[in-house]
DNA sequence: CTACTTGTTATCCATCAACTAGAACAACTT
DNA sequence: AAGTTGTTCTAGTTGATGGATAACAAGTAG
């Protein structure tokens, strides 16, 4: 599991964990059915509290990214082919760079467009 | 000024204000040179503290979106033609909807791609 | 069945960012 | 000269974040 956490980041820890897993799943690095490390294990290896990882996992479950079951752990649930999405995102990044649009503005635009 | 705030949102107030202004400027609704309402006025009309608006304005200034001058207020600074960026973003939203990817995942992907 | 693993839930606490409040000040406009 | 507006400062409140601990429920593995 290639999850890294930056304790000094502005983003909350549980959100960082969630974002990393989302990216891994969307990228196809974690096929459907893959078992994620147990919340306790991941918490220990990231040197973070159990509840922090658990909150990330529960957010992911609420979005249908993973399934959670006691005794079995967290399993990747949904993972279609995201290639078109990645191409579209790459195009956005290129356009933003080209136009010298700050990242915060690009994110604000996408955020609004997604509502 | 069409700025609306949702006090119950998870996003901080100052960030919401900033995002709305970013979107307005990028959309071309606020041409270069347009005066934004003074921080005091906007704070009053949003029923928010002066410092909250000021923090949003200063973030925008740091990104070159607006200029701030005492006595004159906030003025839209930079506003190239963002049409290509908007098209790219629309494509991302379409792809995400098509693939049934949750908004949080789409944002996580863009966030990572922008680094 | 038994032991173990793992998510779930609950309580309590510490810290920090966000927000508010009030005030004085500096630069600019009119 | 008067008014406007951003800048800076101090101080307090609130809520989210994160940690520590513990008991519990549902599944797995033997």
Per-residue pLDDT of chain A (115 residues; tens, 9 = 90+): 689 999 888 899 999 999 999 999 998 889 899 999 999 999 999 999 999 999 999 999 999 999 999 989 999 997 777 899 999 999 999 999 999 999 999 999 999 999 9
Are residues B55 and B88 both part of a single domain? no
Are residues A18 and A64 both part of a single domain? yes
Domain range spanning residue B47? 13-76
Give me the number of domains chain B comprises: 2
Are residues B21 and B58 both part of a single domain? yes
In this structure, is residue B66 part of a structural domain? yes
Predicted pLDDT of residue B15: 97
Are residues B24 and B66 both part of a single domain? yes
Q: Which of residues 41-70 of B touch strand C (CB under 7 A)?
A: 47-52, 55, 69-70
| Weakest mean pLDDT among A1-10, A68-77, B21-30, B56-65 | A1-10
Which positions of strand D lie within 7 Å of protein CB atoms? Answer: 3-10, 16-22, 25-28
Predicted pLDDT of residue A81: 72
Are residues B32 and B64 both part of a single domain? yes
In this structure, is residue A56 part of a structural domain? yes
Q: How far is the CA of A70 from the C1' of C9 (A)?
A: 13
In this structure, is residue A44 part of a structural domain? yes
Distant-in-sequence, close-in-space partners of A56: CB < 8 Å, separation ≥ 6: A14, A15, A17, A18, A21
Are residues B69 and B32 both part of a single domain? yes
B93 to chain A, any CB pair closer than 8 A? The answer is yes
Predicted pLDDT of residue B43: 96
């Amino acid at each position: 599991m290639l999850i890294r956490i930056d304790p000094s980041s502005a983003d909350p820890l549980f959100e960082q964990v969630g974002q990393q897993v989302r990216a891994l799943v969307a990228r196809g690095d974690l096929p459907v059915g893959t078992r994620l490390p147990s919340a306790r294990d991941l918490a220990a290896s990231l040197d973070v509290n159990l509840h922090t990882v658990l909150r990330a996992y529960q957010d992911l479950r609420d979005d249908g990214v993973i399934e959670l079951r006691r005794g079995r752990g967290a399993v990747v649930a949904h993972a279609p082919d995201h290639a078109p999405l990645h191409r579209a995102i790459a195009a956005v990044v290129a356009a933003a760079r080209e136009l010298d649009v700050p990242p915060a503005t690009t994110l604000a635009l996408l955020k609004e467009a997604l509502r």
